[in-house]
Structure 1
Amino acid sequence: MSNLVLLTEEDHVTTITLNRPEQVNALNEEMLSALAERLKEAFHNDSKIVVLEANGKAFSAGGDLNMMVNSDTGGHFENIMNTIEDIVLTLYQMPKITIAALKGSAAGLGLSLTLACDYVLAKSDAKVAMNFIGIGLIPDGGGHFFMQQRIGTVRAKQTIWEGKRLEADEAKGLGLIDFVINSDMDQVVNQYIDKLKKSPILAMIESKMIYHQQSIDQLKSFLADETKGQTNMRQTSDHQEGVDAFLNKRHPNFTWE
């Protein structure tokens, strides 16, 4: 198993750790495959709580740009999108209480994954961004679905269109983050886990599964539409311009083509 995603299990808690810190945990194909496998392992083990975290200064910069640029041939892009769909559906249907613990930034697909969790806890200096728009793309990983669930359609649209990097307190005000932590992150996460352990967690999970079962077909529809939309957007000149501008650290000149 790749060491790009780590898994530990102790006292009914599984911790899944993104482990590509030198690349700000940008999700390349190998890392996505490893994450899919780790989530399936967590899905079937005896834990009742799953924590999704990351090593390094950032939670995740999102999809690896090199992977996106070089995935045009041989059904490669389709395979990547299928893996992302697998990850999101496994995480959303996880029969556990899931917690995303954010240090640093969570952007693009990285943010979509955090929003798939039941709770999003973030350090006070964390930042989040649904910033696909900067390279002429749309959110994937269920980003449209989770944004709509958390903040409503109108705010979701506007937040996606702006692609703005949000400070932790601003994101909490919108509803994208549940708790902002001003003290030691690990200590507070452990305190929250201890609180869950003292709760009737089986009843909590049962309520979760009722809600999520009612929404699963809608999430699958969103994922399918995101794949179609992302395929279309990748063929535009605006996407190519956005990528080139990002790589060359200049402002893009979008032409609607």
Structure 2
Amino acid sequence: MPASSSILFAVENGVAMITLNRPDKLNSFNREMALALQAALDDCADKAVRAVYITGAGKGFCAGQDLAEVVDPQGPGMERILSEHYNPLITRIRNLPKPVIAAVNGVAAGAGANIALACDIVVASEKASFVQAFSKIGLIPDSGGTYFLPRLIGFQKASALMMLGDKISAAEAERMGMIYQVIPEEAFQSHSVQIAQTLAQMPTAGLAYTKMALNAAAANTLELQLQLEDTLQQKAAHTHDFKEGVQAFIDKRAPVFKGE
């Protein structure tokens, strides 16, 4: 990926560790950071990467868009911010054939919240919070928010949170099904990274097919979804990891998966 201090990237034990790194701005997005994150996600196509872990530096996960860039007459403008920054990010997260974990360490607001919700698994520190901040400045939720949030928590809750802009604690987000799990602050980093490392050791080709099925489920009829499950299951059944999993079960030993 191109050099940028706004995104930190490393691969550890099969996990691509991505850190949003503008802590003085609560990791709010500008063009440089958005394009650097896109490049980092592209680098996750590498075979050595089996899972992706996204978190924020400092006290926040991501405060959304840096509004100074929005009002800058020399800035990219709202149209390019959506079409060139956020929409490609959401598309990359959903199309990446590997599990993507959002480890929300602090406030996740606006686009920051919705980028997290686009990930496959969202865990949060007990000190984290989520807010659909768009209505406070006369905008609509973007970055897939109007797509993902109603599917996670239902139309009424999503509508209210988007229109009122309520700040939701991590515990409340877990209770309403917005996120997978709240983790105590002192254990947050170690436990959230362990989840990513666990996923990286699993049969990730099968996880990729699961992700494909989930992506399609929102638009498919039951009949079409059953057909897709059939197609993807046949592909999964021809992977190395399926054969290894079955043989390990027969041999009463731990399987060694390759993601193939």
Structures share fold, TM-score greater than 0.5? yes
Q: CA deviation at 1:11?
A: 2.2
- Which residue matches 2:190? 187
Equivalent positions of 1:208-219 (< 5 A) are 208-213=211-216
Q: How many angstroms apart in 1 are the aligned matches of 2:42 and 2:201?
A: 26
Report the CA distance shift for 1:43/1:216 in structure 2 as closer, same or farther (over 3 A). farther
The code of the aligned residue for 1:87 comes to L
Q: CA deviation at 1:10?
A: 2.2
- Which residue matches 1:33? 35
Report the CA distance shift for 1:151/1:43 in structure 2 as closer, same or farther (over 3 A). farther
Q: How many angstroms apart in 2 are the aligned matches of 1:192 and 1:164?
A: 29
Q: How many angstroms apart in 1 are the aligned matches of 2:160 and 2:47?
A: 39
- Which residue matches 2:106? 104
Equivalent of residue 202 in structure 2, options 193, 199, 202: 199
Q: CA deviation at 1:54?
A: 1.0
Q: Can you list the C-alpha shifts for 1:55-89, whole angstroms capped at 9, x where unaligned?
A: 11100111011112226x79733221112111110
Check conservation: 1:12, 1:49, Cα contact below 8 A: yes
Please say if 1:80 is aligned against 2:67: no
Check conservation: 1:48, 1:95, Cα contact below 8 A: no
Q: How many angstroms apart in 2 are the aligned matches of 1:144 and 1:185?
A: 28
Q: How many angstroms apart in 2 are the aligned matches of 1:75 and 1:60?
A: 20
Report the CA distance shift for 1:116/1:135 in structure 2 as closer, same or farther (over 3 A). same
Instruction: State the identity %.
Output: 33
Equivalent of residue 179 in structure 2, options 172, 177, 185: 177
Q: CA deviation at 1:197?
A: 4.0
Q: How many residues end up aligned between the 2 structures? A: 216
Q: Can you list the C-alpha shifts for 1:186-214, whole angstroms capped at 9, x where unaligned?
A: 11013323432453332222111122145
Comparing 113-122 and 32-41, the one that deviates more = 32-41
Equivalent positions of 1:1-257 (< 5 A) are 1-70=3-72, 76-83=77-84, 84-182=86-184, 183-213=186-216
- Extract unaligned runs of 5+ from structure 2: 221-260
Check conservation: 2:28, 2:66, Cα contact below 8 A: yes
Q: CA deviation at 1:135?
A: 0.7
What TM-score does the superposition give when structure 1 sets the normalisation length? 0.78
Q: How many angstroms apart in 1 are the aligned matches of 2:45 and 2:139?
A: 31
Report the CA distance shift for 1:185/1:77 in structure 2 as closer, same or farther (over 3 A). same
The code of the aligned residue for 1:50 comes to V
- Extract unaligned runs of 5+ from structure 1: 218-257
SS at match of 2:11: strand
RMSD: 2.0
Q: CA deviation at 1:16?
A: 0.9
Q: How many angstroms apart in 1 are the aligned matches of 2:138 and 2:124?
A: 28
The code of the aligned residue for 1:180 comes to V
Q: CA deviation at 1:40?
A: 1.4
- Which residue matches 1:229? none
Q: How many angstroms apart in 2 are the aligned matches of 1:166 and 1:74?
A: 31
SS at match of 1:184: helix
Q: How many angstroms apart in 2 are the aligned matches of 1:184 and 1:91?
A: 26
Q: How many angstroms apart in 2 are the aligned matches of 1:10 and 1:181?
A: 22
Report the CA distance shift for 1:113/1:128 in structure 2 as closer, same or farther (over 3 A). same
What TM-score does the superposition give when structure 2 sets the normalisation length? 0.77
